[in-house]
């Protein structure tokens, strides 16, 4: 319930639960807590005016596939209040938390007015912010990041208003690759700059080759092992790198994100400054929980604390935290880092640990690579699919996979399910997957990868 206490002539409003941050984890926490106990007084404080939106859809708004930004908005503050029963304070930034007195202080981003709230339980879901490079010229207004609907609207507005002809994207992760397609759709010349020798975080060599070829076949100039040194704004922006310069009309920085945890000095943090939480979402401070892109999560295979900021994880963590602040005792089973993206006419997906990652975690791991077809070879639309499967050489258990090509989306989820189920490569090779020529060959590529791994482990010779 909500109480109002008079303090020094002003009002200090007390809530059962105060949530700092919305979007995925925060709104999930608020809604799930209210479902468990409808009597709870819950306040959600959000820095931006948008409290609940599909952040993963922002590149598709810039591209024009999503026509209106409102199509990405799940709830307005008023809708969330009316439909979920959670009070919402948008456009207020929390700048201080007194954990001993259980008081949160928030400042209006419009007029600076300060409000204070007391809580019984606190949920920190402050998310993450784009990493901004500390480089000369970075302040130019033609240099963008993309994380919020406002960011996406600025980029699309710039494209439609200024009609740029070229763009440099700094960072070859998921956002960089997805935005490459968005910019190409608008006819821009695209330079994709990545300091590592591979794209998409840790794409395996065989997989990375297909990704790079796909991008370049569609007009994206991919520059690997290239580091930006500075920007020189003029009529155009000169991008100075270790392997040469280029002049472009705009720049997108997409080199990753960092957790928004700066004000929480007394909370235990670990990987990359993220707030450390257990399986229930509890932090090191009593009655304080955290979830989403500002928090750690347990890896399902290694059981280690990891920082893998993803909307899917934020929603799940948020739901569990919400139920737990309402009195339940639920635990999150952990993540595999499963992800997928569209790269023009192919799909890229990954899950679990690849061979070298697994070795760093102490596994005696191996891997196999196969190339097959996504459908029966005689059926129209059949295309190549490449699979790299990793496994524990001692037990045969599946550890991870990367895939690129046609119809990856269902197959990466098959391997994900197999890992959660503790299956071996032998069991994977004989799974009873659905078959019809429009959907797969008789021997699905996933089955083939399992059987090739069997031969690698010499299981056929037993």
Beta bridge mates, 103: 98, 118
What CA–CA distances, in Å, run from 46 to 16, 95, 135?
17, 12, 30
CA dist 278 and 359 (Å) reads: 25
The catalytic position among 36, 37, 49, 56 is: 56
- CB-neighbour burial class of residue 276 (10 A; exposed 0-12, middle 13-18, buried 19+): middle
Token pair for residue 135?
């480089």
Token pair for residue 282?
């509890």
Three-state secondary structure string covering the chain: CCEEEEECCEEEEEEEEEEECCCCHHHHHHHHHHHHCCCCCEEEECCCCCCEECHHHHHHHHHCCCCCHHHHEEECHHHHHHHHCCEEECCEEEEEEECCCCEEEEEECCCCCEEEEEEEEEEECCCEEECCCCCCCCCCCCEECCCCHHHHHHHHHHHHHHCCCEEEEECCCHHHHHHHHHHHHCCCEEEEECCCCCCCCCCCHHHHHHHHHHHHHCCEEEECCCCEEEEEECCCEEEEECCEEEEECEEEECCCEEECCCCCCCCCECHHHCECCCCCCECCCCCEEECHHHECEEECCCCCEECCCCHHHHHHHHHHHHHHHCCCCCCCCCECCCEEEEECCEEEEEEECCHHHHHHCCCCEEEEEEEEECCCCCCCCCCEEEEEEEEECCCCEEEEEEEEECCHHHHHHHHHHHHHCCCEHHHHHCCCCCCCCCCCCCCCHHHHHHHHHHHHCCHHHC
Judge whether 294 counts as a catalytic residue: no
What residues are annotated to the active site?
A: 56
């Amino acid at each position: 319930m909500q109480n109002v206490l008079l303090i020094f002539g002003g009002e200090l409003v007390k809530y059962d639960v105060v949530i700092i941050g919305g979007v995925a984890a925060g709104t999930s926490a608020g809604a799930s807590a209210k479902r468990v106990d409808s009597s709870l007084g819950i306040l959600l404080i959000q820095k931006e005016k948008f409290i609940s939106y599909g952040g993963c859809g922002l590149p598709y708004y810039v591209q024009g596939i999503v026509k209106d930004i409102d199509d990405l908005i799940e709830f307005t503050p008023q809708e969330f209040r009316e439909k979920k029963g959670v009070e919402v304070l948008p456009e207020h930034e929390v700048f201080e938390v007194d954990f001993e007195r259980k008081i949160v202080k928030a400042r209006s981003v419009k007029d600076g007015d300060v409000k204070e709230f007391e809580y019984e339980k606190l949920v920190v879901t402050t998310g993450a912010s784009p990493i901004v490079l500390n480089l000369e010229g970075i302040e130019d207004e033609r240099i963008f990041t993309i994380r919020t609907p406002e960011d996406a609207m600025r980029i699309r507005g710039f494209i439609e208003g200024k009609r740029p002809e070229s763009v440099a994207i700094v960072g070859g992760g998921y956002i960089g690759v997805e935005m490459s397609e968005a910019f190409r759709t608008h006819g821009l010349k695209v330079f994709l700059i990545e300091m590592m020798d591979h794209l998409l975080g840790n794409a395996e060599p065989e997989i990375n080759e297909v990704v790079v070829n796909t991008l370049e076949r569609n007009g994206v100039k991919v520059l690997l092992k290239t580091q930006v040194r500075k920007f020189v704004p003029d009529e155009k922006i000169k991008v100075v790198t270790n392997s040469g310069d280029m002049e472009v009309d705009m720049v997108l920085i997409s080199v990753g994100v960092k957790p928004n945890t700066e004000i929480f000095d007394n909370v235990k943090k670990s990987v990359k400054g993220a707030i450390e939480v257990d399986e229930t979402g509890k932090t090191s401070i009593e009655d304080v929980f955290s979830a989403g892109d500002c928090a750690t999560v347990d890896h399902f295979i290694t059981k280690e604390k990891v920082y893998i900021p993803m909307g899917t994880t934020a929603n799940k963590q948020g739901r569990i935290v919400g139920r737990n602040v309402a009195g339940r005792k639920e635990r999150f089973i952990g993540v595999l880092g499963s992800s997928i993206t569209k790269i023009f006419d192919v799909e890229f997906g990954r899950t679990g640990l690849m061979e070298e990652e697994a070795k760093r975690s102490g596994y005696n791991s191996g891997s196999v690579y196969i190339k097959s077809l996504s459908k029966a070879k005689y059926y129209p639309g059949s295309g190549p699919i490449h699979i790299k499967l990793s496994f524990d050489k001692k037990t045969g258990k599946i550890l991870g996979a990367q895939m690129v090509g046609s119809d990856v989306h269902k197959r990466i989820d098959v391997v994900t399910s197999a890992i959660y189920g503790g299956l071996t490569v032998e069991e994977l090779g004989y799974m009873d997957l659905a078959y019809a020529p429009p959907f797969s060959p008789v021997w699905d590529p996933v089955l083939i990868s399992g059987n090739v791994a069997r031969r690698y482990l010499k299981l056929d010779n037993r």
